[in-house]
Amino acid sequence: MGTGHHRTVSAAGIPGSRGTKCCGVESCRFRCRAKKYNVDAMPKTSIIIPFIESEELSHLLRTLHSVIQRTPVKLLEEIILINDNSHREDHEMILQNYITTIFNETSIRLLFSHDSLGAPRARLSGLKLARGEVIVTMDSHMEVQEGWLEPLLDAIQQDPRTLASGYLDWMQKDENDSWTYKHGPSTWKTYFEWNFDFGFQDSNKEDIEARQNDVTAPVVSPMCIGSNWAMRKDVFEEIGAFDEHMKAWGGENIDLALRVWRCGGRVLSIPCSHAGHLERRGHREYRNNPEWISLMEYNYKRIAEVWLDEYKEYFYYYRPELLAVDAGDLSFRRAIKEKCSQKYDRDFSWFLKEVYPELGIPGGEDNLAWDGVSTKSFLFAL
């Protein structure tokens, strides 16, 4: 490698030979490293990474280096980069030159969108072109850890309708450009509240105790994170891919996870698969942006109207301002739900009982019976 490459790698803090860990508990790390996989029998994977104008090239290169260095060649079909309407010189000429000269032994496709698509639609544009049997979505500011992909593929091989999600660790960069890597727990589940607030919570005591004999066992999770998940491409497309009418980003992970569960699948968090996610300074300021809030509310309304069934009244109790929001044409999404309901007989009541009983019924089960709407409306009761 030339000196130019060395300077770029050094400035980016790109991973080289430094040690990696697969999960946050020593016993888990030891057992993860001891696992053996038949890589020759595993499906090839397409990794889709969108990036926007504000993304630092060094962060994107850090992501690419980690993926290429820590993914078995036999499992990597391609990396598809989606330039989501960024006209920065380093995102065009410099990145293309880097791909041609440094990553020339890896199949990397760089696509350009002349419209700002937002993360879900940008990912979808790459997913449609993916040649791999399995697809993985990833942010452009991540660092995958050693052995990150094999356990995801293993879970999918055991049940092809699985959405397998890796765990996220945290990377932070201070004002001196020094990096800190903090390993997260490997027992967390992803969840949502009735108002669609999304977050992480630890597994309950019973689930943790049940996994004591194998701390590497997958954790059944109601939801998935927005990136770093893997699915078979044909299953993803069968259940409706991403909702192309959603705007910008926000809520697409809730929509996807609900569809996976209700269309005969499962969502698993995989303790042996970890990737660092860069928390950028000021990253969460978008949550105070009225324009983004409006787009997110539109997305949330589409999810609630299609996938919550009669339980959507609880959503509107916490988000009454969304009652007046026009959710657009929902006919195609409702047709997907109807097809899945006929084939798998999983409604939202089933999801509450079998997957996410912790969500609970606001005001108690008398407000809405497990087997359908009671005569006492929740809204009037409160």
Q: What is the pLDDT of residues 228-267, one digit of tens each?
A: 999 999 999 999 999 999 987 789 999 999 999 999 999 9
Residue 290 confidence (pLDDT): 66
Strands of the chain, DSSP E? 45-51, 76-84, 108-113, 134-137, 142-144, 162-173, 179-182, 188-192, 198-202, 219-220, 229-232, 266-278
Of 300, 292, 271, nearest to 189 (Cα)? 271
Residue 162 confidence (pLDDT): 98
Residue 375 confidence (pLDDT): 28
d(Cα 156, Cα 231) in Å, to the nearest integer? 7
Residues near 223 by Cβ (< 8 Å), separated by ≥ 6? 189, 190, 191, 192, 198, 253, 254, 257, 267
**Single-letter amino acid, residue 271:** P
Residue 22 confidence (pLDDT): 57
d(Cα 369, Cα 349) in Å, to the nearest integer? 9
Residues near 58 by Cβ (< 8 Å), separated by ≥ 6? 8, 11, 12, 13, 14
Q: What tokens were used for 356?
A: 């996410």
Low-confidence ranges of the chain (pLDDT < 70): 1-27, 177, 280-290, 292, 363-382
Are the CB atoms for 253 and 231 separated by under 8 Å? Answer: no
d(Cα 248, Cα 114) in Å, to the nearest integer? 15
DSSP H or E segment with residue 339: helix 331-344
Residue 181 confidence (pLDDT): 84
Q: Is 43 exposed, middle or buried (0-12, 13-18, 19+ CB in 10 A)?
A: middle
Residue 352 confidence (pLDDT): 96
Residue 382 confidence (pLDDT): 33
- Is the pTM higher than 0.75? The answer reads yes
Residue 326 confidence (pLDDT): 96
d(Cα 197, Cα 248) in Å, to the nearest integer? 17
With both helix axes pointing from N to C terminus, report the angle between 3-12 and 57-69 in degrees, rounded to the nearest 10. 100
Residue 119 confidence (pLDDT): 83
User: Distance between alpha carbon 33 and the CA centroid of its chain, in Å?
Assistant: 24
Output the CA–CA distances (angstroms, integers) from residue 130 to 48, 73, 232, 327, in the order listed: 8, 17, 11, 30
Model pLDDT for residues 44-53, shown as the tens digit of each residue: 999 999 999 9
Topology of domain 31-42+145-382 in CATH is: Spore Coat Polysaccharide Biosynthesis Protein SpsA; Chain A (3.90.550)
